[in-house]
Amino acid sequence: MVKRVVRKSKKTGNFLEAFFSVKKSKGLSPIITTVLLIVLTISIIAIIFLWFRGMVEEGVTKFGENIKLVCDKVNFDASYSSGMLNIVNNGDVPIFRVNIKISQDGNYQTKDIKEFSSGSGWPTVGLAQGGTFSGELGSEIGSAKGISILPVLIGTSSKGKKTFVCAGQYGKEITV
């Protein structure tokens, strides 16, 4: 049999007060809590800043306007016949490069024109107005069902020159 000892509070003689009494312990000093709050606030601000910085795009311009708007002005023709890809720039906007999106059995693969063996013939400064390019791609695209030619423009940003791939609606779809 276990004997239970119940003590009375020394001050009041109350059993409940003795049972629920909490020892008074020292807390953190006001200086330490202030420093901890400042560090926590700075950490939260840094996390929010990095998060927003990742969401905001850097502005790239060409001819003094947003490069996305310049994509509307790109005008080119592309054709593919007997393994030869032909591209003609009919517009006023120079095309720095093109990306070739190869569709094969439901899968897509996108390559820069320079990644193809015939891509070495692509002009270094791109296709200016009236510029043309012809290159043999037959063996490198294999049994593709179709290809899309996506123009790549070069613009300026606060960090210097930057390339920009125009979205799919500005490209040319070619059935192989």
Residues 98-130: tens digit of each pLDDT: 999 988 888 888 889 888 877 778 888 889 999
More confident residue, 24 or 29: 29
Q: Compute CA distances 125 → 59, 61, 65, 134, whole Å.
A: 22, 17, 20, 16
173 pLDDT more than 80: yes
Placement of tokens 């890809």 in the chain: 85
Mean pLDDT of 71-93: 91
5 pLDDT more than 90: no
**What is the domain count for the chain?**
2
Residue 5 lies in a domain: no
Task: Read off the pLDDT of residues 130-172 as tens digits, 9 standing for 90 and up.
Answer: 999 998 887 777 778 888 999 999 998 888 899 899 988 889 9
Instruction: Based on the fold, state whether residues 31 and 107 are members of the same structural domain.
Output: no
The pLDDT of residue 132 is 92
Instruction: Based on the fold, state whether residues 96 and 161 are members of the same structural domain.
Output: yes
Instruction: Based on the fold, state whether residues 112 and 47 are members of the same structural domain.
Output: no
Instruction: Based on the fold, state whether residues 32 and 94 are members of the same structural domain.
Output: no
Mean pLDDT of 79-95: 90
Pick from 22-26, 70-74, 117-121, 143-147 the range whose average pLDDT is largest.
70-74
Instruction: Based on the fold, state whether residues 97 and 145 are members of the same structural domain.
Output: yes
CB atoms within 10 A of CB 174: 16
The pLDDT of residue 7 is 55
Contacts of 163 (CB under 8 A, 6+ apart): 96, 97, 152, 153, 154, 155
Task: Read off the pLDDT of residues 27-69 as tens digits, 9 standing for 90 and up.
Answer: 678 888 899 999 999 999 999 998 888 777 677 888 888 888 8
Residue that is last in its domain, among 55, 75, 103: 55
- What is the distance between the alpha carbons of residues 112 and 39, in angstroms, rounded to a whole number? 47
Q: Which domain holds residue 146?
A: 61-175
Instruction: Based on the fold, state whether residues 113 and 41 are members of the same structural domain.
Output: no
Q: Tell me phi and psi for residue 123, to 5 degrees.
A: -60, 140
Identify the band that residue 17 occupies on the pLDDT scale cut at 50, 70 and 90: low
22 pLDDT more than 60: no
Q: Tell which residue, 56, 74, 76, has the closest CA to residue 157.
A: 56
Residue 65 lies in a domain: yes
Contacts of 136 (CB under 8 A, 6+ apart): 83, 84, 85, 117, 118
Instruction: Based on the fold, state whether residues 103 and 21 are members of the same structural domain.
Output: no
More confident residue, 74 or 59: 74
Instruction: Based on the fold, state whether residues 134 and 97 are members of the same structural domain.
Output: yes
The pLDDT of residue 115 is 86
Q: Tell me phi and psi for residue 138, to 5 degrees.
A: -45, -55
State the chain's mean pLDDT as an integer.
Answer: 83
What single letter denotes the amino acid at residue 102? I
Residue 3 lies in a domain: no
Rounded to two decimals, the pTM is 0.66
